[in-house]
Amino acid sequence: MRVSTERDGEIAIVTFANPPVNALSVGTGLVGELARVVANEGASGARAIVLRSDGRLFSGGADIADFGDDPDSDVAGIRALIDCVAASKVPVVAAIHGAALGGGLELALAAQARVAADSAKLGLPEVTLGLLPGAGGTQRLPRLIGADKALELMLSGRTIGAAQAQALGLVDAVVGESELPRAALALARRLADEAPPRTERAVSVDAATIANARAAEAARARPSLARQHIITCVEAAGSDLRDGLAVEARLFNELMLSEASRGLRHAFLGERMVQRIAGLDPAIRPRRLASAAVVGSGTMGGGIAIALLAAGMTVTLIDTQPDALARAVARIGKTFDDQTAKGRLSAEAAAARKAALSTATDLAASAQADIVIEAVFEDLDVKRSVLAGLDAAMRPDAILASNTSTLDVDRLAGFTRNPARVVGLHFFSPANIMRLLEVIRGRETDPEVLATAMDFARRIGKVGVLSGVCDGFIGNRLFEEYLRQVWLLLEEGALPAQIDGALEAWGMAMGPLKVMDLAGQDIGWSIRKRRAVEQPGRPYSKLPDLVCELGRFGQKTGAGFYLYPEGARKGVPDPEIDALILRHSAEQGIERRAIGDEEIVERCVYALVNEGAKVVAEGIAQRPVDVDMVYLNGYGFPAERGGPMFYADRIGLPHVLERIRAFAAGREGWAWEPAPLLVELAAAGKSFGTLNR
Ligand code: T1G
């Protein structure tokens, strides 16, 4: 980190730097040093100050990696810096390039004026971290752009461009990036000459605005404490600035220590941590992939093509069935046209994406692609034929990826002459929407191919998580144990609506029975049949098979564990299924009992934790945080709880272990074997987080 100052005549130019995003770090001393330099320049003859930073953006805000358990040590220093800028005896002009976000924008708000490069982005995204702008933003932004617009920006956490910021009155001038230094100096000189009064403007806050915002928040499915507190802070902005700042600081500190914010901050940092491949030679640089071929134009292949086209790649969609290709091309085009209709994508951009798509019916069309992704039917013989054909047709240096979700990537690689270039890319359906992408490392996958695949994941807007080869990789392997508890709970006394209701009330986006009805119960059925052959010793409940044997595969057949009248997407409980479950319990000789929601949640969530500890110990997942990112981005685990492993840390591993042992006395043959890693960490008083490096 570095703070420097230079003079241009009587104007001081103060520059700070803290790569990679100029986070306002208290721990490294940046914030304290910057405050000292600004105060010193203001008191030693400079007639005005230009405040700028080096690097690719002005500042990404407070250093959330720094945050501990003491808000005052983490943010009070930023508030002191911002007070120093606001109280400067000479005018301060903030020169904003790249982005000014969170505390970075709050720093700029304390300046007397702001000049932005035309490419700059500005925003107060704290709410996405379960926080609120805690360094004056809730008080100064309303004074600058009005309470209504300020409230909308802080409640949404969205960023805006420089032009929109100028239209709102958030910045005073917008110039080309190369013009920024000169424009900032000119404005600083003008302010030095005019010496306008440094009074903090007042703002009128309309009571109806506050009341409406509160009502809208209360009506949300999941009201957020952060949003409620932002509304309270904006209400306080109508009073004296000092009082408002005191309200903001108090509510910020409360949020910073909240479980929800801890989980959301873990989710933010974790998404970036999992991009790192432990032990990868730093000299290995990922290749930039510009062209792709996707083989198979079904739901997955079409979704993958949309994701790649949206990332600016050219895509050749290959399928032996011309009518399937035609349907896929129509679906892809409609996806972009719908985005244009909603104002989310310009007509030009939509046209460019559609133009970047071509089709073919022969694998030879993959010859020029940088990467080829097969998304054909999940059958070993079909995969063998397609992979061998691609291996012969592709460029020797091109990457060959399989979208398989259940097959052994090493076995698939064995169908080619060059297994080193084979990697698994397990997309989640719908592939153009779901953010998770499991990158499956084969035994022989070349490290450069891995690095390129992880970088590719980031470039197409996915959260790439590296997984080793095992049945189900990370996500579905844990999901199997989660479902195992669901079947047991149904046999022991719970019913579908109670299980789904308990887990959704806890925060899961969708209950497991609904998930399986949506995905298709037949998918689970075929996996259980395969596993019954491959792993005969593994106990399985017959209950889901009984439902499948009735041809009840879920939404797609109008009935699964729920009924879907007239193809409705929202299922309704079916007394027939309840009766089937009760009959099944009786046939198993199980005396059903009332099961509380808490037990349902503990058994299902701790099943994820326990299996997560096993996949980490086996090296299938690199770190516990990788398991968290899989569940947050692919399985609807509530972000406020940070993921299974983070959640277990927050509960305390000794307690989690104790509860698993209590459940382990369950049914014969279904005993839970607590994961050795969980036992070891609990005994040592450590957390899973200590393994996240
Ligand atoms: N704190 C700590 N580390 C951060 C960070 C931050 N605010 N922002 C980014 N990083 C790290 C990130 O983890 C990654 O680390 C590297 O920087 C590059 O990030 C007082 C309390 C700025 C738009 O919410 O939106 O201010 O993996 O890959 O794609 O009221 O980062 O390299 O080790 O995302 O170019 C509010 C969060 C904080 C903005 C850059 N600010 N950051 O995107 O790079 S709370 C935010 C971003 C606050 C005040 C409150 C983006 C970016 P590593 P990256 P990028």
**What is the CATH classification number for the domain harbouring 685?**
1.10.1040.50
Considering the domain architecture, whether residues 441 and 484 belong to the same structural domain is answered as no
Residue 98: CB within 6 Å of ligand 1? no
| 375 belongs to a structural domain | yes
Could you tell me the CATH number of the domain that includes residue 97? 3.90.226.10
Scanning 56-171, the segments in alpha helix (DSSP H) are 71-86, 103-110, 137-145, 147-156, 162-168
Ligand 1 and 274: CB distance under 6 A: no
pLDDT for position 68: 82
Burial (0-12, 13-18, 19+ Cβ within 10 Å), 448: middle
Residue ID of nearest Cα to ligand 1 atom 51: 60
Examine residue 281 and state whether it is found in any structural domain, yes or no.
no
Assess whether 451 and 548 both reside in one domain.
no
Q: 406 in a domain, yes or no?
A: yes
Q: Mean pLDDT over all residues of the chain?
A: 94
Same domain, 253 and 359: no
**CATH number, domain at 385?**
3.40.50.720
Has residue 266 been placed in a domain? no
Residue 236 shares a structural domain with residue 313:
no
What is the domain extent for residue 630?
A: 475-691
pLDDT digits (tens, 9 = 90+) for 619-663: 999 999 999 999 999 999 999 999 999 999 999 999 999 999 988
Active site residue 106: yes
Q: Of all protein residues, whose CA lies closest to atom 10 belonging to ligand 1?
A: 21
Q: Both 18 and 130 in a single domain?
A: yes
Q: What is the residue with the minimal CA distance to atom 25 of ligand 1?
A: 60
Q: Are residues 440 and 581 in the same domain?
A: no
pLDDT tens digits for range 597-609: 999 999 999 999 9
Query: Does residue 219 sit in the same domain as residue 295?
Result: no
Residues 135 and 213 both lie in one domain: yes
Domain boundary among the residues 432, 467, 502 is at: 467
Q: Which stretches within 370-474 are classed as H helix?
A: 380-393, 409-413, 447-459
- Would residue 274 count as lying in a domain? no
Type of residue numbered 357? L
Domain match, 542 and 642 both = yes
For the stretch 191-199, contacts whose Cβ atoms lie closer than 8 Å and that sit 24 or more positions apart, written own/partner, are 191/48, 191/91, 191/93, 191/112, 191/113, 192/10, 192/11, 192/47, 192/48, 192/90, 192/91, 195/91, 196/91, 196/112, 198/91, 198/112
The residue annotated as part of the active site, out of 6, 10, 41, 106, is: 106
Instruction: Say whether pLDDT at 45 is over 90.
Output: no
pLDDT value for 573: 94
Stretch (H or E) spanning 358? strand 357-360
Our answer to whether residue 126 is catalytic in this structure is yes
Give, using CA atoms, the residue closest to atom 16 of ligand 1: 20
**Any residues with CB less than 8 A from the CB of 155 and at least 6 apart, and which?**
127, 213, 227, 230, 231
Of 214, 232, 257, the last residue of a domain is 257
Whether ligand 1 lies within 6 angstroms of the CB of 142 is answered as no
* Alpha carbon distance 272, 577 (integer Å): 44
Mean per-residue pLDDT, 345-366: 96
Residue 676: band (very low, low, confident or very high) from pLDDT cuts 50, 70, 90: very high
493 conformational bin, left if phi > 0, alpha if psi -120 to 50, beta if neither: left
In short, whether 23's Cβ falls inside 6 Å of ligand 1 is yes
Residue 277 lies in a domain: no
Domain count, the chain: 3
Q: Assess whether 494 and 418 both reside in one domain.
A: no
Does 262 fall in a domain? no
User: Which of 214, 239, 257 marks a domain boundary?
Assistant: 257
The structure's pTM equals 0.94
Mean pLDDT of 373-378: 93
Q: Which residues pair with 436 in a beta bridge?
A: 463
Q: Are residues 82 and 127 in the same domain?
A: yes
Residues with Cβ within 8 Å of 273's Cβ and at least 6 positions away in sequence, in order, are 623, 625, 692
Identify whether residues 66 and 170 lie together within a single domain: yes
Does residue 507 form part of some domain?
Answer: yes
Residue 172 vs residues 112, 162, 478, 619: alpha-carbon distances, Å: 10, 10, 53, 53
